[in-house]
Amino acid sequence: MNTSLNRRSNTGRVTAASTSLALALAVSACGGGGGDGPGSEELNLVIGNALPLSGSAKPLGKSGQKASAVAIDQINEAIGEADADHGVRTTEQDQGKGADSATEAAKTLVNDDGASCLTGPWSPDAVGQTADDVAIPSKVLEIAPVPTAEDVAELSDRDLVDSTALPVSLEGSALSKAIERDLGGVEGYTVNVAASNDSYGDALTQDFIEAWHDNGGTVGGQVVLAPPPLSSSSGSGYSTTTGGYGSSGYSKTSAYSSQAQEITSGSPDAVLLIDDLDGLVQLAPALSGSYGWDPETAWGSDQLLSPGLPGLVGSEAVEGMRALASGIPKGEEASAAFVREFKAT
């Protein structure tokens, strides 16, 4: 899905529908169906939803709550039509900001709330850790509505862990094709890449650069969007690919300003930002104040698609910017039916 991130577009509606469809599919998958079912055996299913219910991604989590409700209604309707003695309910926890807090949320859902199936978490880096620490040891199904990296594909999980979105490994080449289509070609065009300092950022950067180079394109600056130290007195250094900052005179503002300058250095034809919402919220003021920043030449990864993004960072920071993420298959009755049900909520 190629979507412009501005206030005048229907970005929020489209994003909510596509990402929420992923969660609705996940909840429905937890509910089972088809094939060799339990027969006359009574099924009481508890689905635990690990959702982003605080921070920058909260609007996405709210959409996820609606999607979960749509899925539960469909499951209960099927139970009623079959006149079966089954029960299904959901419980939810805020996944928090990082992989550790997402794992703790999953533990609460399974150990305290009795969840026999998990949906989420909604951040790629947290899916594998949650699987290793919770889903696999507890033999609980985990279905994530976000793209997953190679570490998830390599898990010895006996098919307990899955995702309803395309893997991260396909997003790099998809971004390359989208930018190529926008620019009208690859040869002679330069893209600067700025990515978060984690496995998601590393994998997506590598895949994009490989695809862009293979078609004859040029990658200019590469910026590591590592967060600055918590304080200037810690003595630990902070660095990007082109320079570093020691503790003397260090400030978060100067770090973000430096990153913004690097992102736009060399007047690239396009800029690719691979980060999550929290990262962009911190970086956006520096980008808006940077002379070379033009959001109409900027592209974002799937983690930057959120209904609340313009309100979080200011429309001037993202007006005309586009992002790519898994979308709803066009022309499919199931997709159309979900959109109708989702709008009805």
CA distance 205 to 194: 8
User: How confident is the model at residue 23, as a pLDDT?
Assistant: 59
Structural fold of domain 168-324:
Rossmann fold (3.40.50)
- Band the pLDDT of 31: cuts 50, 70, 90: low
Query: Could you tell me the residue ranges of all domains in the chain?
Result: 9-34+42-165+328-344, 168-324
Q: What is the pLDDT of residues 139-166, one digit of tens each?
A: 999 998 887 877 787 788 888 888 888 7
Minimum mean pLDDT among 26-40, 67-81, 129-143, 231-245: which range? 231-245
pLDDT at 14 over 50: no
For position 109, what pLDDT does the model report? 96
Averaged pLDDT score across all residues of the chain: 80
Among 330, 328, 331, 332, CA closest to 24: 328
- Residue 190 burial by CB count (10 A; 0-12/13-18/19+): exposed, middle or buried? middle
Q: What is the pLDDT of residue 217?
A: 95
pLDDT exceeds 60 at position 308: yes
pLDDT digits (tens, 9 = 90+) for 68-104: 888 888 888 888 888 888 888 999 999 998 889 999 9
Q: What is the C-alpha radius of gyration for the chain, rounded to an integer number of angstroms?
A: 21
Least confident range of 4-18, 26-40, 208-222? 4-18
Cβ neighbours of 158 (radius 10 Å): 8
Q: Which ranges constitute the DSSP H helices of 265-329? A: 277-288, 309-313, 315-318
- For 39-68, the pLDDT digits (tens) are 567 788 899 999 999 888 888 888 889 888
Range in 76-80, 132-136, 229-233, 298-302 with the lowest mean pLDDT: 229-233
Residue of 32, 34, 30 lying closest to 49 (CA atoms): 30
Question: Is-contact 286 257, C-beta < 8 A?
Answer: yes
Enter the pTM of the model: 0.70
Class of domain 9-34+42-165+328-344: alpha beta
The Cα 125–Cα 275 span in angstroms is: 12
Long-range contacts of 133-141 (CB under 8 A, 24+ apart): 133/103, 133/106, 133/107, 134/103, 134/106, 134/107, 134/110, 135/106, 135/160, 135/161, 136/160, 136/161, 138/110, 138/111, 140/110, 140/115, 140/116, 141/29, 141/30, 141/116, 141/117
Mutual angle of helices 11-30 and 333-344, in 10-degree steps: 110
The whole-number pLDDT of residue 216 equals 93
Q: How confident is the model at residue 309 (pLDDT cuts 50, 70, 90)?
A: confident
Residue 138 has pLDDT above 50, yes or no: yes
Common-topology check for domains 9-34+42-165+328-344 and 168-324:
yes
